[in-house]
Structure 1
Amino acid sequence: MRIELKASDGHTLSAWKTGPADARQGLVVVQEIFGVNRHMRHVCETYAQQGFAVVSPALFDRAERDAELGYTQEDVQKGLALRGKITDAQVMLDIEAAAAALPAGIPLGIIGYCWGGTIAWWGATRSNSFRAAVGYYGGGIAATRQEVPHCPVQLHFGEEDKGIPQTDVEAIRAAQPGVEVFTYPGAGHGFSCEERPVYSPTDAMLAEQRSLGFFAQHLK
């Protein structure tokens, strides 16, 4: 269901909330550059079915309320434009608001995809709200790879991602030897999104299994 959040700077934003009332683990799910669209709600429900309390904040609300995009090139350009109107600091305020909306007293994780993959990394390095962070094909991670994570991190990249060269992935490995980094041969950017042409069910399932195992290990 949709809920309203309030960030510490007074900004109000919507979010998708789901999961069992008696959840013992919480998860902030961070959107791609396409908003909290049908795919992101699908991701939320997938983790809710695994027993997580889930909140996915609508980060684009600072630029355009309730923006939900598809996966055409036009959508990509609009998503990039919206992202450009929001500062990294504002993003983290909204992430903290999402974390605060999860049940008190349970361990929290963060998982993100695309733009959200980078933000999940920042959730580890720029926040103390999370005990584990998982990022999928975050294009901005390499540029901030020297930041110090405050919790365990797991990252996933497609080896054929045209936007994230393998040299970036290797740079992340070198800078963060304690971070789990998985790559997927033949997989492109967005390989876990069932609505993209590059969707790879086998790789998506393996990455999801690894993510669930990672959270099971660290969200105790």
Structure 2
Amino acid sequence: MGRLISLTASDTHHFAAYEAGEPTASRALVVVQEIFGLTDHIRAVCDELADRHGYHVIAPALFDRARRDAVLPYDGEGIQTGLDLRARISPDGLLADVTASAHALNRHGHQKVGILGFCWGGLVAWEAATRTREFAAAAAWYGGGIAALSHEKPHCPVQLHFGGEDDHIPHTDINTIRENRPEVEIFVYDDAGHGFGCDDRPSFNKYARDLAHERSMAFFATHL
């Protein structure tokens, strides 16, 4: 099981983070939350990466910039509250928090750090790959909004995963990313919807989740 720690960003913002795994692990990842906060699901993802795959993982509590300890339910009210909180946080603030998380892993001796984001966190992972040079590899699962920023060139290898039945991310967005960034590896899971990797959501699709997980682990094993 992981533990809560406190980190400080470059702008002196103090925030909580969930840390899992040992500093002596061979690989390190920053895991970026969905629009619902540091939920049990996100913590379970971190624990799995640490326990089954030997990663040292840190997941920053991005909502701390707007409301501390915010963990929201997977329902319409949770989505709306999450969107309201997100709107109060600048992109620069988000990048400061994931950068501080990467630096915390660097201080433990990890020279290469990857970033893995889900939903909102997928967009943050894309921005971290294109707007910073802190990460050696980035993967995003059902990250909405990436198409609008796909003119930005990543500074590291990127792998993207989308659901073919995602009612939040149209196929036109996926095609736009393919056209603008042919170097980016993209996988689409035909029968999967938005949030297909979270077993606390009705859209959970075990087959798509397991395949995306396998591909993500192979991707990070190659680049970290």
TM interval, shorter chain, is over 0.9
Deviates more, 1:27-36 or 1:15-24: 15-24
2:29 is the counterpart of 1:27 = yes
User: Whole-Å Cα distance in 2 between the matches of residues 105 and 189 of structure 1?
Assistant: 32
2:46 is the counterpart of 1:76 = no
The counterpart of 1:7, out of the listed 6, 9, 12, is: 9
Letter matched to residue 164 of structure 2: E
User: Whole-Å Cα distance in 2 between the matches of residues 11 and 119 of structure 1?
Assistant: 18
The counterpart of 1:158, out of the listed 156, 163, 177, is: 163
Letter matched to residue 48 of structure 1: A
What TM-score comes out, normalization by structure 1 length? 0.98
User: Whole-Å Cα distance in 1 between the matches of residues 194 and 95 of structure 2?
Assistant: 24
* Counterpart contact for 2:28–2:110, Cα < 8 Å: no
Give the RMSD, CA atoms, in angstroms: 0.7
The Cα of 1:34 is off from its aligned counterpart by 0.3
Task: Give 2:49's aligned residue.
Answer: 47
Q: Which runs of 4+ in 1 moved over 4 A?
A: none
Q: Aligned residues, how many? A: 219
**Cα-to-partner distance string for 1:126-156 (whole Å, 9 max, x where unaligned):** 1111110000111110110010100000000
* Counterpart contact for 1:157–1:183, Cα < 8 Å: yes
Alignment of 1:68-217 (within 5 A): 68-102=71-105, 103-217=108-222
User: Whole-Å Cα distance in 1 between the matches of residues 220 and 110 of structure 2?
Assistant: 16
The Cα of 1:61 is off from its aligned counterpart by 0.1
* Counterpart contact for 1:24–1:106, Cα < 8 Å: no
Alignment of 1:55-66 (within 5 A): 55-66=58-69
Letter matched to residue 61 of structure 1: D
Q: Secondary structure at the match of 2:94?
A: helix
The Cα of 1:25 is off from its aligned counterpart by 1.0
Q: Secondary structure at the match of 1:186?
A: coil
Q: Secondary structure at the match of 1:189?
A: coil
The Cα of 1:104 is off from its aligned counterpart by 2.6
The Cα of 1:20 is off from its aligned counterpart by 2.2
Question: Which residues of structure 2 form unaligned runs of 5+?
Answer: none
Q: Secondary structure at the match of 2:210?
A: helix
User: Whole-Å Cα distance in 2 between the matches of residues 207 and 120 of structure 1?
Assistant: 16
The Cα of 1:204 is off from its aligned counterpart by 0.1
Question: Which residues of structure 1 form unaligned runs of 5+?
Answer: none
What TM-score comes out, normalization by structure 2 length? 0.96
**Cα-to-partner distance string for 1:163-182 (whole Å, 9 max, x where unaligned):** 10000001001101000000
* Counterpart contact for 1:118–1:139, Cα < 8 Å: yes
User: Whole-Å Cα distance in 2 between the matches of residues 21 and 71 of structure 1?
Assistant: 32
**Cα-to-partner distance string for 1:77-110 (whole Å, 9 max, x where unaligned):** 1001000100111100011111111123431100
Structure 1 residues 105 and 41 mapped into 2: Cα distance closer, same or farther (>3 Å)? closer
